[in-house]
Amino acid sequence: MALYDEALDRLDQLGVLYPCFCTRRRIRAEIAHAGQAPHGPAGEALYPGICRSLSAAERRRRVAAGEPFALRLDVERALALTGPLSWHDLRAGPVEATPESLGDVVLARKDVPSSYHLAVTVDDAEQGVTLVTRGEDLFHATHVHRLLQALLELPEPRYYHHNLIADSTGLRLAKRNRAVTLRTLRQSGRRPDELWSLLGLPEPAPAAPVG
């Protein structure tokens, strides 16, 4: 947690953090009122920047009054400091970083001192990770992580965003979708070679014995 606090302090010193006092209901109402709100790569409506324009005095007053808030990254101001960025994916090759496609993401809340974006960026650097391997559903999040790396002067790892196992309709297998698990298949009597066949892949050769 101390490392996350240090990172947030650094970002605050750079002037790229701002407190957001909006509730989810307020954000939804603002988006509905706007009509044509910009959307992210997954089709979700982006935060419309309601609190970005608050004066410093107003921010201090509301924080001092104990209003709950989240800390958001001012992506436009951050990109003005870093300039154009890119990153390398082992499947996609060179990728131009476009963190603005996700809007001003939340980096911390009062009750959650670090968001996923901040935590993985800081953790990867602290642990010396040179190759980040994760599912392609997190591909777009890497645009934000590359921006944070540049702002915090952290090393840039390479990435491999692997494809995901999906059902016949293209829906990815996940617990949230109540997808069939390997445990269920095993309990139903399915053999490993059958599962490889279902995936359209050859069964891997047995590992060589050790020693």
If pLDDT is split at 50, 70 and 90, which confidence band does 21 have?
A: very high
Contacts of 174 (CB under 8 A, 6+ apart): none
Whole-angstrom CA distances from 168 to 14, 132, 172, 173, 199 are: 48, 28, 9, 10, 11
Residue span of the structural domain in which 178 resides: 172-201
Q: How far is CA 164 from the centre of its chain?
A: 17
Shared domain check, 124 and 148? yes
Nearest to 110 by CA among 150, 71, 156: 71
Q: b/e string for 164-180 if b means 16 or more Cβ within 10 A? A: eeeeeeeeeeeeeeeee
**What is the spatial distance between Cα 141 and Cα 65, in angstroms, rounded to a whole number?**
33
Shared domain check, 138 and 90? yes
Sign for the CA dihedral angle at 80, 82, 86, 87 comes to negative
The helix-helix angle for 116-126 and 141-152 (nearest 10°) equals 60
pTM over 0.85: no
Shared domain check, 34 and 6? yes
149-173 confidence digits (pLDDT tens): 999 999 999 999 998 877 777 677 6
Shared domain check, 33 and 130? yes
**114 lies in some domain:** yes
If pLDDT is split at 50, 70 and 90, which confidence band does 40 have?
A: low
Shared domain check, 182 and 99? no
